[in-house]
Amino acid sequence: MLSRRPTTPMRIANWSVLPLLAAMSSAQTTLTIACDRDNTLYQSTNGTLSNGSGSYLFLGRDGNNTRKRTLLHFPTTAIPADARLLRVELELNVSRTAAFANLGIDVHQVVADWGEGSSNAAGEEGRGTTATSGDATWLHRRYPNMPWTTVGGDFVSLPSASVAVPPFGAALFSSAGMLADVQSWRDTPANNHGWLLKSDEAVAYATRRFESRENATTIWRPVLRVTFVRPGQSAATGAGCVGAGGQPFALTIGGAPQSGGSITITHGNGVPGAMAANLLALVWDGASLPVWSGCNLLLPPPDLVTHNLLNLDGSGGSATNLPIPPGFTGTLLAMQAAALDPGIATGFVLSNAGVIIVQ
């Protein structure tokens, strides 16, 4: 996940922030979206190579010093218009490699339309084949008459995610940047031109082969999983820090979904009698700030406030009732708890996060 610089949380004595709070009634939704277009850009001087309908996708720099890049597109129109995205995860399957160590792969947002033609390379498909009408190539968005502005593809230079991908098996990509991409595509579908995946392309034989959307093995095809909440729903996301008792500090939410009702923030697995605090934010961007290994601040520090201080009970838990003033339908509230834990080196733990939307 992307991270931020730390900012000291504020204790808010003025409870005027409460009119912006939210409610929930049911769990978050995860939608699995199939890839509807993919292709490989094979470096060539005349831009005549492609593999629009092949079974595989490629990236990296091969033994002939030829660069390859993967293009992927996923439709986002099935995501509800009122959805607030919590997490996106791209999954590919690595089935062939020439480098038996993890390979750093960057995910870039593409900024121009591109195509997938009927080209279908023979054999292992690593060399591509002659492009057909509409194919994306190293020089073309759509072969033969629509060139990229920049050879090798038009994409945002700053990657949305950077992931170390294993030599075989599942390759998972998820980040706050990818979440922002998908949210923007849902909000403005005309801007959805998908992602381009590439390595730094500096080393020969550092390659990956993925199954494409046309691959005969359905479960290995590219998929995008989108987790979101809608008005009246709640979500638990992320993981709590493991405390001295060996269990992650936990936060759960219960209560009425309507504005004018209330929610209950419940803690568990803390140190009995320890001081704790409920932290709130009115935004969620999917980023995290590592505090130590396996422990992350999941709320955006610039927008974080301390709702209340309390003492955990004799079982290391607590429950806080939070009234929700009427009139704020659609408002989001994200929350995370912190608690003292003298049994670990840092002296405190953080919970998982919860997100709710007013109905």
| pLDDT tens by residue, 258-306 | 788 888 999 999 999 999 999 999 999 999 999 999 999 999 999 999 9
Residues 168, 49 share a domain:
yes
State which of 188, 221, 254 marks the end of a domain.
Answer: 221
Q: Report yes or no on 1 lying in a domain.
A: no
For the ranges 25-34, 39-48, 183-192, 227-236, the lowest mean pLDDT is seen at: 25-34
Report whether 351 contacts 334 (CB < 8 A): no
Residues 170, 72 share a domain:
yes
Residues 75, 217 share a domain:
yes
Average pLDDT, the chain: 90
93: tokens are: 């399957």
| Count of the separate structural domains present in the chain | 2
Confidence bin at 17 (pLDDT 50/70/90) = very low
Nearest-angstrom CA–CA distance, 121 and 39: 11
Residues 312, 171 share a domain:
no
Report whether 52 contacts 119 (CB < 8 A): yes
Residues 170, 46 share a domain:
yes
Q: Report yes or no on 286 lying in a domain.
A: yes
Nearest-angstrom CA–CA distance, 108 and 127: 23
Report whether 271 contacts 312 (CB < 8 A): yes
* Tens-place pLDDT, residues 204-219: 999 999 999 999 999 9
Region 143-163 average pLDDT: 98
Confidence bin at 124 (pLDDT 50/70/90) = very high
Residues 145, 42 share a domain:
yes
Q: Report the pLDDT value the prediction gives residue 260, as an integer from 0 to 100.
A: 87
Residues 119, 214 share a domain:
yes
Nearest-angstrom CA–CA distance, 287 and 106: 17
Residues 87, 21 share a domain:
no
Residues 183, 119 share a domain:
yes
Report whether 154 contacts 69 (CB < 8 A): no
Amino acid making up residue 90: L
Largest CA distance in the chain: 73
User: Which residues span the domain enclosing 292?
Assistant: 10-28+230-357
Region 232-245 average pLDDT: 92
Amino acid making up residue 173: F
